[in-house]
Chain A
Amino acid sequence: MQLVGLIWPCNGLNRRLSENLNRRDGLNLTSIPTKNIRNFCIIAHIDHGKSTLADRMLESTGTVENRNQKTQLLDDMELERARGITIKARAVAMKYRLGETTYELNLIDTPGHVDFQYEVSRSMACCEGALLVVDAFQGVEAQTVANTYAAVDQELTILPVINKIDLQNARVDEIIAEIEQTLGIDGTEAMPVSAKTGVGIDDLLTTIIERVPAPVGDPDGPLQAMVFDSHYDAYRGVITYVRVINGRLRRGEKIRFLRGGSTHELMEVGQFRPQQIACDELSAGQVGYVICNIKSLSQVHVGDTIGTVKHSAEPLTGYKEPNRMVYCGLYPSDGQDFSELRDALNKLAINDPSFEFEPETSDALGFGFRCGFLGLLHMEIVQQRLEQESSVDLVQTAPNVTYEIALTTGKVLEIHKPQDVPNVGDIEEFRQPIVRVNFVLPVEYIGSTIKLCQDRRGIRQGTEYLSPTRAMLTYDLPLAEVIYDLHDKLKSATRGYGTMDYELLGYFPADLVKLDMLVNGKCVDALSVICHRADADRRGRAVAKKLKSEIERHMFEVAVQAAIGSRVIARETVPALRKNVTAKCYGGDISRKKKLWAKQREGKKRMKSIGKVDIPQKAFMAVLDTGQE
Chain B
Amino acid sequence: MVPLWQRPPRAVYLHVPFCRRRCGYCNFTLVAGRSDLIQPYLDSIALEMAAYDDLPCQVDTIFLGGGTPSQVRDDHWRQLAAMLHRNFPLSADGEWSVEVNPEDVDRGYLEQLRTDGVTRVSLGVQSLSDDKLRTLEREHTGQQARDAIQLAIDIMDTVSADLIFAAPNETLSRWKDDLASVIDLGVDHISTYGLTFEQGAAFWSQRGKGLLKTVGEELELDMYLLAIESLIGAGFEHYEISNFARPGNRCRHNECYWTGATYHAIGPGAARHLKGRRETNHRSTTEYLRRLQEGRSPVAESDEADDRERALEVLVFGLRRIDGVDRDWFLANTGFNLDDLGGQALQEYRGEGWLQDDGRRIALSRRGLVISDSLWGRLLAS
- Asked if residues A591 and B241 are in contact (CB atoms below 8 Å), the reply is no
Find residues 224-275 in chain B having any chain A CB closer than 8 Å to their own CB.
Answer: 224, 240-242, 254, 257-258, 263, 265, 269-273
**Interface membership of A83, Cβ < 8 A:** no
- Shortest A616–chain B CB gap in Å is 15
**Stretch from A125-133, A151-159, A581-589 that touches the partner:** A581-589
**Interface membership of A555, Cβ < 8 A:** yes
| Cα distance, A579 to B372, chains bound together (Å) | 8
| Cα distance, A555 to B242, chains bound together (Å) | 21
Question: CB-nearest residue of chain A relative to B260?
Answer: A590
For the complex, count residues of A whose C-beta is within 8 A of B: 23
- Shortest B9–chain A CB gap in Å is 12
Contacts of B377 in A (CB 8 A): 597, 600-601, 604
| Cα distance, A577 to B373, chains bound together (Å) | 11
- Asked if residues B303 and A587 are in contact (CB atoms below 8 Å), the reply is no
Contacts of A604 in B (CB 8 A): 377-378, 381
**Stretch from B174-182, B188-196, B199-207, B285-293 that touches the partner:** B188-196
| Cα distance, A80 to B196, chains bound together (Å) | 47
- Asked if residues B370 and A579 are in contact (CB atoms below 8 Å), the reply is yes
**Interface membership of B320, Cβ < 8 A:** yes
**Interface membership of A580, Cβ < 8 A:** yes
Contacts of B265 in A (CB 8 A): 587-588
| Cα distance, A597 to B303, chains bound together (Å) | 15
Question: CB-nearest residue of chain A relative to B65?
Answer: A586
- Asked if residues B371 and A578 are in contact (CB atoms below 8 Å), the reply is yes
**Interface membership of B217, Cβ < 8 A:** yes
- Shortest A360–chain B CB gap in Å is 29
Pick the residue among B221, B257, B273, B278 that contacts A586 (CB under 8 A). Answer: B257
- Asked if residues B257 and A591 are in contact (CB atoms below 8 Å), the reply is no
- Asked if residues B371 and A581 are in contact (CB atoms below 8 Å), the reply is yes
Contacts of B221 in A (CB 8 A): 578-579
Main secondary structure of the interface of B (DSSP, over half): mixed
- Shortest B259–chain A CB gap in Å is 12
**Interface membership of B154, Cβ < 8 A:** no
Contacts of B372 in A (CB 8 A): 580-581
Please indicate which of the listed interface residues A583, A586, A591 has the most CB atoms of chain B within 10 Å of its own CB.
A583
**Interface membership of A311, Cβ < 8 A:** no
**Interface membership of A70, Cβ < 8 A:** no
- Asked if residues A578 and B370 are in contact (CB atoms below 8 Å), the reply is yes
Contacts of A587 in B (CB 8 A): 13, 63, 257, 263, 265, 270-273
Contact with B along A288-319 (1 / 0, CB 8 A): 00000000000000000000000000000000
| Cα distance, A600 to B258, chains bound together (Å) | 21
**Interface membership of A411, Cβ < 8 A:** no
Contacts A585-B242, A586-B65 known; A580 to B374 CB distance under 8 Å?
yes
Contacts A579-B220, A590-B257 known; A585 to B374 CB distance under 8 Å?
no
**Interface membership of B336, Cβ < 8 A:** no
Main secondary structure of the interface of A (DSSP, over half): loop
**Interface membership of B184, Cβ < 8 A:** no
Contacts of B373 in A (CB 8 A): 580-582
Question: CB-nearest residue of chain A relative to B379?
Answer: A597
**Interface membership of B75, Cβ < 8 A:** no
**Interface membership of A594, Cβ < 8 A:** yes
Number of A-B contacts (CB under 8 A): 95
**Interface membership of B77, Cβ < 8 A:** no
- Shortest A381–chain B CB gap in Å is 37
| Cα distance, A473 to B378, chains bound together (Å) | 57
- Asked if residues B270 and A588 are in contact (CB atoms below 8 Å), the reply is yes
Contacts A588-B270, A590-B257, A594-B380 known; A579 to B303 CB distance under 8 Å?
no
- Shortest A576–chain B CB gap in Å is 9
Contacts of B269 in A (CB 8 A): 588
Question: CB-nearest residue of chain A relative to B271?
Answer: A588
Contacts of B257 in A (CB 8 A): 585-587, 590
| Cα distance, A588 to B265, chains bound together (Å) | 9
Contacts A597-B377, A601-B377 known; A579 to B254 CB distance under 8 Å?
no
Contacts of A578 in B (CB 8 A): 217-218, 221, 370-371
Find residues 153-210 in chain A having any chain B CB closer than 8 Å to their own CB.
Answer: none
- Asked if residues B196 and A580 are in contact (CB atoms below 8 Å), the reply is no
| Cα distance, A598 to B354, chains bound together (Å) | 21
- Asked if residues B380 and A591 are in contact (CB atoms below 8 Å), the reply is no
- Shortest B130–chain A CB gap in Å is 24
| Cα distance, A577 to B221, chains bound together (Å) | 11
Question: CB-nearest residue of chain A relative to B279?
Answer: A591
Contacts of A597 in B (CB 8 A): 376-377, 380
- Asked if residues B280 and A583 are in contact (CB atoms below 8 Å), the reply is no
Contacts of A590 in B (CB 8 A): 257, 271, 273, 278, 313, 317
- Asked if residues B193 and A583 are in contact (CB atoms below 8 Å), the reply is yes
- Asked if residues A584 and B278 are in contact (CB atoms below 8 Å), the reply is no
Find residues 344-375 in chain B having any chain A CB closer than 8 Å to their own CB.
Answer: 352, 354, 369-374
Question: CB-nearest residue of chain A relative to B372?
Answer: A581
- Asked if residues A582 and B194 are in contact (CB atoms below 8 Å), the reply is yes
**Interface membership of B301, Cβ < 8 A:** yes
20 extra interface residue pairs, beta carbon distance < 8 Å, beyond A583-B194, A584-B242, A587-B265: A555-B371, A579-B220, A580-B371, A580-B374, A581-B371, A582-B194, A585-B240, A587-B272, A588-B271, A588-B280, A589-B271, A590-B271, A590-B278, A590-B317, A591-B271, A591-B280, A591-B301, A594-B303, A597-B377, A604-B378
Q: Which 9 A-B pairs give the minimum distances between C-beta atoms?
A: A583-B242, A588-B271, A600-B377, A579-B221, A580-B373, A583-B193, A597-B377, A580-B374, A580-B371
Provide 8 A-B residue pairs closer than 8 Å at the C-beta atoms, listed in order of the A residue.
A577-B374, A581-B241, A581-B370, A590-B257, A590-B273, A591-B278, A597-B377, A601-B378
Show the binding face of A for B, using Cβ within 8 Å: 555, 577-591, 593-594, 597-598, 600-601, 604
Show the binding face of B for A, using Cβ within 8 Å: 13, 63, 65, 192-194, 196, 217-218, 220-221, 224, 240-242, 254, 257-258, 263, 265, 269-273, 278, 280, 301, 303, 313, 317, 320, 352, 354, 369-374, 376-378, 380-381
